[in-house]
Amino acid sequence: KNQVEQSPQSLIILEGKNCTLQCNYTVSPFSNLRWYKQDTGRGPVSLTIMTFSENTKSNGRYTATLDADTKQSSLHITASQLSDSASYICVVSAKTGNQFYFGTGTSLTVIP
């Protein structure tokens, strides 16, 4: 069964600290993996997209990694800011039939 699991479910960190969010998936055949940031009350916004051949991709203070062998991805946030407080959603797409599989998200709270 194609599934996407994210951990932790929620996380509270101090401003300025780093954190890492995890995404494990069983989707096959794998096409790509996206990390989205969703501010409270708003729609998700894409942060990065990872294809099979990419191991690491950065977008400012966000760095995503992908291990296609173990089917794991992580999103690392460096020097967190209050504005990083949001839900982070991992979405994996399959090559067949335009299928997308969503994780339930990690809720990140950055406190001063």
Partner 1 sequence: DVKVTQSSRYLVKRTGEKVFLECVQDMDHENMFWYRQDPGLGLRLIYFSYDVKMKEKGDIPEGYSVSREKKERFSLILESASTNQTSMYLCAAISQRGSGYTFGSGTRLTVV
Interacting residues toward partner 1 by CB under 8 A = 31-32, 34, 36, 41-46, 49, 89, 91, 93, 98, 100, 102-105
Q: How far is the CB of 79 from partner 1 (least distance, A)?
A: 26
What's the CA gap between 31 and 12, in Å, rounded? 32
Q: How far is the CB of 89 from partner 1 (least distance, A)?
A: 7
Beta bridge mates, 6: 23
Q: How far is the CB of 112 from partner 1 (least distance, A)?
A: 25
The 10 Å Cβ neighbour count of residue 36 is 19
Per-residue tokens: 108: 């990140």
By C-beta, is 18 or 109 nearer to partner 1?
109
What's the CA gap between 45 and 88, in Å, rounded? 9
By C-beta, is 7 or 46 nearer to partner 1?
46
